[in-house]
Every structure is written in C-alpha cells, then in structure tokens.
Amino acid sequence: MADTATAPVDPAQVRALRAFNRFYTQRTGLLDPYLGSAFSLTEVRVLYELAHHAPCTASELGRRLVLDAGYLSRIVRRFTHAGWITRTPLPQDARQHALSLTAEGRTAFEPLQQRSREEAAHLLSPLASDQRQALVAALARAQRLLDPCSAPASRTAVLRDVRPGDMGWVVQLHGEIYAHEYGWNSEFEALVAEIAAGMIRRHDPAWERGWIAEVDGERAGSVFVVRKSETEAQLRLLILSPAARGLGLGGRLTDECLAFARAKGYRKMVLWTNSILSAARAIYARRGFALVHSEAHHSYGKHLVGETWELTL
C-alpha cells in the first residue's frame, strides 16, 4: 500500500501542475469571457447545473459548484431578473426556493453547451482513436486521484427530438462503432449516410419521428420510426455509444418507437438487423418482436446473416 502520510511536495511537481493549468486554461478558453460569450465560466456552470440537475436549492447548487453563497446569490438574482430562472418556495420550508431554468434560460444556455461540445471535439479531432481513449482514461484517473472519496457522479439521461446536425452525428457514430467493434468497412457508413439522407428528404412528421439520447448533456444514442406503409412502421438506426451502455437507454428508445407507432394506429412494426448484434436482438425479443426471416449475405467486408423481425402492435 502506498504511504498516505503527508510529505513535502516536490517543487518540480508544483511547477509541472501549474504549467499544465496554464496550458489547459489557454487551450480550452476557460478565462473570461468564456467560449467567446458575455458569461464567465462560473456563470455558465450555474446554467449547466440548472439545465441538467434542476430543480435544486441555491444551497445545493453552491455545494455542488463550491461557490461562495454571496457570489452565487448575485448570479441567481441576475439570471432571475433576466427571466432565465424561476424560484418556487419549497412546501416543507417556504424560506428556501427550488431553482429551475425557464424556456428562455434554456434558449440562452443551449448555444453555449453546443459551443463547448464543438470546442472539446476540436481539441480531440487531431488525435487518433487510441490516443483519445488514452487521454480520457488519464483524465478520469486524475479526477480519481484528486478526489478519491467522492461518490461516482449520477448520470442524467434524457431523450429529445432530433435537431439539425444530429443526423451527421448518427452517421459518424455508426461508422466508428461498427468499424471498431465488428471490423466493418466504410461501405456500412456509406449505407447509413444514404439511409439518413433519405429519411431527411422524405420525412413525414405526421407519421414519423426520431429521438436522440443524451447522457449528462452529450449525445449518446438514436432511434427512428419511419413509415413503411399505411399499416407498417419501421424501426431504424438504433444505436448507443459505448459510454451510454448499461443505463437501459436502448430499451427506452425502443419503447418510445413502439408507443409512437401504436398512437399513430400502425398495426405492425418491422426492423432489419444482423445476427451478430446480440444486445439489440435481446432488446427486440424482450418486447415481443419475432424473427421471421434470415438470409446470409456478404457486406461491409464480412460474412453476415441478415434478419427481419416483426411485432404486431
């Protein structure tokens, strides 16, 4: 076991940590103004917490962000006056208020969140896949070392409607995951791109819908219902990122499709998959889908068995 007794810190280690702090703040734009906006990093963090963990009290928010109560109070007061935060007295203690973002607050925050995603993607994009994984693992280890007693952070998973830009991400996620996990070549990514383009061009909002799963504010999965005929709906492009697995999101996405199809009066839902996709097949089987046809094929550089599944609604 490592020696846990307090020991003098090597000055060279102090210099190394400070040098990294300077490098990181410069590369990620953490200095005011944050992300080229009119907000400080702290103000954006307040908006983020309220977007993903509200309702909560000011004291809970202060503990989570380790903020001075007076400083936080001034931020909350300003955002409340701007119409971005609502304050609702707690039933058990009217002296305390539950804070939540208003629709206007979410409208103000969402461009900042998207810009932050883009900045992170820009930092990661020059790295190869294994380098990105190594960096993420190193960051997680640094967090554990600096805060070993903290409990694992709770993860917030939500399903939302599809927005502009999401379909390109869906294509990318399919290409990356199926290449890495199954060795499929770029023919598969091309197929998904063609499917996505067709769905965009022919989308009928009265009879079709898609969902994007987000975990802690980051895109993590997708699924779509498309109109195959007047009586049949088709489930397409169900996928989850590796980091989002184990949260039950695959089942939730599928259940949304089934509920939508039933509400629209479809009599049957169909889907096509491959026999090696055991996790997806298990989701379908648990919901009553039946395998009705199998056929061997050579696609994406592999010998595969395609499957058609159906469910009477």
**C-beta atoms surrounding 288 within 10 Å:** 13
Q: Encoding tokens for residue 221?
A: 């999965």
- The pLDDT tens digits of the residues spanning 118-157 come to 888 888 888 887 787 778 777 777 777 777 665 455 567 8
Say how many C-beta atoms besides its own lie within 10 A of residue 257's C-beta. Answer: 23
Lowest-confidence range among 19-23, 64-68, 144-148? 144-148
Give Cα 263 distance to the centre of its chain.
Answer: 27
**Sequence ranges of the chain with CATH classification 3.40.630.30:** 157-312
Grouping H, G, I as helix, E, B as strand and the rest as coil, residue 102 is: coil
* pLDDT of res. 33: 65
pLDDT in tens, 6-18: 567 788 888 888 8
157-312 placed in CATH 3.20.20.150: no
Instruction: Kindly report, residue by residue over 164-191, the tens digit of the pLDDT.
Output: 999 999 999 999 999 999 999 999 999 9
Average pLDDT on 49-54 reads 80
Task: Identify the residue with better confidence: 311 or 31.
Answer: 311
pLDDT given at position 183: 95
CA 82/CA 101 separation, integer angstroms: 11
Which tokens in the block code for residue 163?
Answer: 């927005």
pLDDT at 92 over 90: no
DSSP 128-188: -HHHHHHHHHHHHHHHHHHSTTSPPPP--EEEEE--TTHHHHHHHHHHHHHHHHH---HHH
Please, what's the largest Cα pairwise distance for the chain? Answer: 74
pLDDT of residue 3: 44
In total, the chain counts a number of residues equal to: 313
Helix, strand, coil content of the chain in percent (nearest 5): 50, 25, 25
What's the pLDDT at 148? 67
What percent of the chain shows pLDDT beyond 90?
47
Mean pLDDT of the chain: 86
Q: What pLDDT score was predicted for residue 188?
A: 97
Scan for tokens 């199809």, then name that residue.
261
- What is the second-level CATH architecture of the domain 11-119? Orthogonal Bundle (1.10)
Q: Are 110 and 126 within 8 A, CB to CB?
A: no
Q: How confident is the model at residue 98 (pLDDT cuts 50, 70, 90)?
A: confident
Coil/strand/helix, residue 216: coil
Give dist(CA 254, CA 235) in Å, integer: 8
In the chain, where does the domain assigned CATH 1.10.10.10 lie? 11-119
Residue 20 has pLDDT above 50, yes or no: yes
Question: Mean pLDDT, to the nearest integer, of 8-32?
Answer: 79
Q: Render pLDDT for 191-239 as a digit per residue (tens, 0 to 9).
A: 999 999 999 999 999 999 999 998 877 899 999 999 999 999 999 999 9
